A and B are shown apart, each in its own frame.
Chain A
Amino acid sequence: MTGLGDVVARLPPYAAAADLDGRMPEEAIAVLREARLLAPMVAKQHGGPGLDHAGFGEVCEAVGAVCTSLRSLITVQSMVAAAVARWGRPEQRARWLPALAGGGVLAGFCLTEAEAGSDAAAITSSLVRDGGGWRLTGRKRWVTFGRSAGLLLVLARAEQGGTAVLCEAGAGVRRLPREGSLGLRGAMLADLEFDVELPDSAVLGRPGFGLATVAETALSLGRLSVAWGSAGMVRGCLEACAAHVRDRRQFGAALAEHQLVRRLIARMAVSARAARALCREASAARDQGLADAGSLVLVAKYFAARAAAEAGADAVQLHGADGTAAGAYAARMFRDGKIMQLIEGSDQMGELAISARVLGLPAHRRPA
């Protein structure tokens, strides 16, 4: 994509600052906003760049190699845009897609609760009929960019079952910042408390089908974004480590001359290529509309997240004390890499889902 490299080259100073300060500088978001990369899959008819899944992946990879927190903004913005594009009514698409593509509004995705996360069906946030509209109450946790998002896609339980609503942040939405997290420190994490009245037009998709369709549409794109972002982290770690071990000398030789160092570089190089190959396969499957695309996305995310966590840890190892310093790239990748093994489905949930598909069994069974 023309100009992606130029855009990404402007991001490194903001990435370190976001991590150190625990908040994303507005200037960093402005770089993505100006480049129209906040929700790059929004169709041209709605004012977006209209990238396919392959092009979207390249954006996530390039930004992810520099800053996981900023990549996660692209992720959540794109997740909400995808859900609106796929399941929104024409008036919902006309209202929100141009705003999401242009960055006039930042989006949040609100699923996780105290007792519901991987088990999305256990959500207790409630959506009840109230006059001609709805009343949404409940508390959502760990919302990426929850401190600043203006449009919140919330999964709640209505009489008909799991239901998705689009809720504008404002009166009735209380933000409770989460600071000092292990990783994603620049991602403006917050819990959100809802006690808000919503019009009928806020419901996205069909009541009762919010989890199986709206949430899954968003989450699957989120997984693809995390997969590509993780692949970018592995590449970024590889490039940083290769430069470091060529330059740094110990015992009269560059670190690169030591065999134990070379092993880590080789493993990282293979992981980088493998992660990228799986991400490309998953994106291609989505672009071709293949029915097993969702499974391929799970495989790519599972592999790439583990590779990112390993690459981050090895990057710290290879950089020695410098890799642990405040503001160090390796330290940030190490901490953010661990988060990749949890976000949009933990490693263990991935293992259950991937093996379930191989065996033809459900991923989960509820106790009778």
Chain B
Amino acid sequence: MTATAVAGQVHAFIRSRVGGRDIGADTDIFEEGLVDSLFAMELITFVETTFGLSVLTEDLDRDNFCSVHAITRFVLGKNGAAARRDPG
């Protein structure tokens, strides 16, 4: 999946949770006060289900989830790592 495709899905998900407000790719969703614990776990579930990966304890880093860009980078990094472990 391309970065553009991942970012598009992440962006659409976050927008659906903030009443359709426009969120920039680098908008810090924590600083904007958009993330409560319910949303945090929903975001993790969304990332796992949509992109077929597991968010592990060591992945829990604000820098992995703070914006559309950050999440996209995280997803591509995880899936790239998985692809390297399991070619084909």
List chain A positions with a Cβ less than 8 A from chain B: 87, 89, 120, 205-206, 209, 211-213, 215-217, 219-220, 289-295, 298, 353, 357, 359-365
Contacts and interface: CB of A to CB of B under 8 A. Distances in A.
B52 to A, nearest CB: 10
A89 B57 contact: yes
A363 B34 CA distance: 9
B38 A213 contact: no
Nearest to B33: A362
Leading 3 A-B pairs by shortest Cβ distance: A360-B19, A291-B46, A212-B40
Give the interface centre of A215, A290, A294, A298 by most chain B CB atoms within 10 Å: A294
11 contacts: A205-B57, A206-B60, A212-B41, A290-B45, A291-B42, A291-B43, A291-B49, A360-B21, A362-B33, A362-B34, A365-B33
A289 B49 contact: yes
B37 A298 contact: no
Given A213-B44, A291-B49, A363 B38 contact: yes
A289 B44 CA distance: 10
Interface residues of B, number: 26
Contact of A289 (B13, B18, B48): B48
Give the interface centre of B21, B38, B60 by most chain A CB atoms within 10 Å: B38
Contact of B42 (A89, A120, A209, A292): A292
B87 interface: no
Nearest to B55: A213
A206 B21 CA distance: 31
A292 B41 CA distance: 10
B69 to A, nearest CB: 20
Contacts of B38: 216, 220, 294-295, 298, 353, 363
Given A206-B58, A360-B19, A291 B45 contact: yes
Contacts of A360: 17-21
B36 A363 contact: yes
Contacts of B35: 212
Given A87-B57, A289-B49, A360-B19, A295 B37 contact: no
A357 B39 CA distance: 9
Contacts of A206: 57-58, 60-61
A12 B80 CA distance: 55
Main SS at interface, chain B: helix
Contacts of B46: 291
B45 A293 contact: yes
Nearest to A353: B38
Contact of B41 (A217, A359, A361): A217
B41 to A, nearest CB: 5
A179 B46 CA distance: 43
Interface in B9-29: 13, 17-21
B45 A216 contact: no
A187 B41 CA distance: 29
Nearest to A366: B33
B57 A216 contact: no
Contacts of A364: 36
B59 to A, nearest CB: 9
A364 B37 CA distance: 11
Contact of B60 (A213, A216, A292, A295): A213
A205 B59 CA distance: 10
Contacts of A361: 19
